[in-house]
A and B are shown apart, each in its own frame.
Chain A
C-alpha cells in the first residue's frame, strides 16, 4: 500500500474541507463511544478483565518463542502447513505460490488488516488472480478503489447514497432502484455468493492463535469468514505472530473485551475457530490449509521500548475516541492503521522518518488510553516517539531550538522573570483596548484559528513582589 503519512497535514486539510464527510465523522464520534460505554458499563468486570487480558498478552509476548513453537507444533499436528514470513513481500510470495500450486484463479478474501499491510490484493491481481473482498465494508472500498478508513469498519466514511451510486456503476445488473440500505446489502450478498461458490482459494485473517490446540480464531459479523474458510478447496490464514495466546480460555477472555470495545456488542454474530483441513469423517471444509505468520518488524518492536504496542487487540476503540481521528478521518494518516494505535504502529512498521507527523497528531488528552482494553499507555508511547524524533533531528530545527531556549530560560528564574516583566506589560499595552490580538508575529498557527488573548497588565511575580514590598513597608511604618 502506498504510504502518504508524510503529507499528514495536507491530507488532514483536504479531509476537513469536505463538510459532508466531516459531519459523518462527527456523528460517528458521538455514536461509537456511546455504544461502547453502554456495553462496558453493563459489564461489571471490565477493569478486572482488562488487567487480566493485559497480563495474558504480556505473558504471551514475553514468551513468544515458546508459544509460537507450541502453536506451530499443534497446528501441524492438526494437518495445517505453517509458514513464517519475515516481511510483506515474503508473505505475498508464499500466498501466490500456494495459489499457483492449485492453479487457482479466483480468491475469496475475508477482512484482514495484515494483508492490507502487505498489499496482498495488488500483488495477486498483478499475477492475474481475481481477488474479491467478502466483508461488506472491504468489498465496498475494493469496488471504490479506496483503502480502509477504520480498522473495524473499513467503509465507515461512505454514505449509503455513495454506495448506491457505486453499486449501480459497478454491478451490471440492469435498471433497479436500490432505495433501501437492505437492498444494497442484498445486492452485495448476491454478487459475493457467486464468488464464494467459484473461488478455489479462501484467505482470512485471525484475531488469535491458540497455542494449546493450534487453532486460529476469527470474529466476523457477516459470516463471510466461514464461507471463505469452508467453501474453497484451499484455506490460507494470514496473520502476525504476535496474535498468539497460550490457551483457548485466554482467547475467550480477550473476546469479551474485544467485541464490547469495538462495536459495543456482547459478542459478534460469528466467532469461529479453525482447526485445519477436512478430516475423513467431515462432510465439508477445505482440503488443504495454510497458516502464514508475518513478522514485518514486530520482533524489533518486541525488543524495543515500544513493546507494549504489541498488546493491541485491534478493537478500534482508540480511533473511535480520538478527537483528531474524528476530525480528519482514517485516510489522512496515510497508511493501513489510523488513529492513536496507527500513529504508533505506522512509524514502527514503516519508518519514523516517513511518518514523523503522526506522533504529533495527539493532544495527550488520554481518552484513548482510558478506553484501551489492552491498557496500552498510548499517549506515553506517542510522546516517546516524539522524543525519538527530537533525538534523531526529525522534528523541525527552529521548533526544537525554540523549545530548548524556553527550557533554558525557565531554568534561570531571575532572567526569566526580568524578561517577562518587560515583555508582558508591553504585550498588555499593545492589546489593551481589544484585549486580544487577531495576528501576532510568530504565532500564525494560533492566530489562524483563534484570537490571541492579551495578558493582564503585569506578571503575577511582578504584582506579588510589589504587594509584599508594600505590606513590609506598612509593617515597618507601624
Chain B
C-alpha cells in the first residue's frame, strides 16, 4: 500500500475505499468526513484517507483557468488511482472527477482519468447502490422532519436522486418532506455566488423560502457548498431551520452545532 495511506481500521474482507474528503469538508466541516468514514465502515468497507489530498480543482476549472486545473487534476489522479474505490461526500467533486477530468485531459492522462472515473462514487450512491448499507440490528437514527436539496451536479451529472432518500428511509426511518422546485439551483455555483452576489442572493432566498414552506426542522443535502450557502442565508434571516450534511444525519451525528450555528 502507498505510504501516504494510513489505515483507519484493521483490514477487513470488504471493499477497499479511498475517501476523497473534499476541501470544503476538510476546512469547514470535518464532521462530514468522519461521518462518511463511519458509514463506510458500518457498510463493511476498509477506509483509507490519502493524506496528500487538497482540492479537486473545481474553483479554477469553473472560472475557466484550465491551465491551472490540469496539474491539479493530474495530482488527484496520481493520488487516487491505486484505490479499488474512491468515495466522495460531494456530488460536485465526484462529478468533477467523473465527468470533467476526462474532458479536461488528453491522451494517456485522459485514459487514466476515465479509469479513475469508473471507480469513483459519490457517498450516498456508493452506500445505496454499491455496498447496500443496512441497519444490521442497529436502531434507526431518530430525526426531526427533514427536507432535501438536490444539488445540481450530483443530480444532473451523476443521477443522484433516489439514493439519499432511500438511505434516509432505511437508516433513519425518515420520509423526506419535498420542497418545491427542489431541482432548481440554490445560487451557490462556486465562485458565481461571489461574482454575482445579488442574483445568487435572490436564488438562495427562493431556495430557503421553499425549504421553510415544508416546515421541516432540518434541511440536508449532499454538497457542502450548497449547504454553506443555504445555511448562511437561513442564519442571516434568523430562520428556525438547521442545515446539515446528509452523512451526518445518516450516522446520527447531530450533537454538534448545525452549519453556521454557534455553541
Contact = CB atoms under 8 A, between A and B. Distances in A.
A26 B256 CA distance: 37
B33 interface: yes
Contacts of B66: 387, 390
Interface residues of A, number: 76
A465 B157 CA distance: 33
18 contacts: A16-B202, A324-B203, A360-B192, A363-B188, A363-B190, A363-B192, A364-B152, A365-B156, A367-B183, A386-B64, A390-B66, A406-B60, A410-B55, A432-B263, A436-B260, A449-B204, A460-B34, A467-B8
Interface size band for B: 35 or more
A367 B156 contact: yes
Contacts of A450: 201, 204, 229, 232-233, 235-236
Contacts of B65: 387, 390, 400, 403-404, 407
Given A16-B198, A459-B26, A445 B60 contact: no
B68 A408 contact: yes
The winner among A9, A359, A449 for most chain B CB atoms within 10 A is: A449
Contacts of B260: 435-436, 451, 453-454
A137 interface: no
A30 interface: yes
Interface in A380-433: 380, 383-390, 395, 399-400, 403-404, 406-411, 413, 416-417, 420, 424, 431-433
A22 B263 CA distance: 38
Summarize B's interface: helix, strand, loop or mixed. Answer: helix
Interface in A8-25: 9, 12-13, 16, 22
Given A453-B28, A456-B28, A459-B26, A363 B185 contact: yes
Given A390-B64, A407-B69, A455-B29, A361 B59 contact: no
B236 A324 contact: no
A313 B247 CA distance: 42
Interface of A: 9, 12-13, 16, 22, 26, 30, 323-324, 327-328, 359-367, 369-370, 380, 383-390, 395, 399-400, 403-404, 406-411, 413, 416-417, 420, 424, 431-436, 438, 443-446, 448-456, 458-461, 463-465, 467-468
A26 B206 contact: yes
Given A16-B199, A432-B262, A387 B64 contact: yes
B54 A380 contact: no
Given A407-B68, A436-B232, A460-B34, A360 B27 contact: no
The winner among A30, A390, A456 for most chain B CB atoms within 10 A is: A456
A399 B157 contact: no
Contacts of B130: none
Interface stretch (B45-53, B118-126, B168-176): B45-53
A6 to B, nearest CB: 15
Nearest to B70: A407
B194 interface: yes
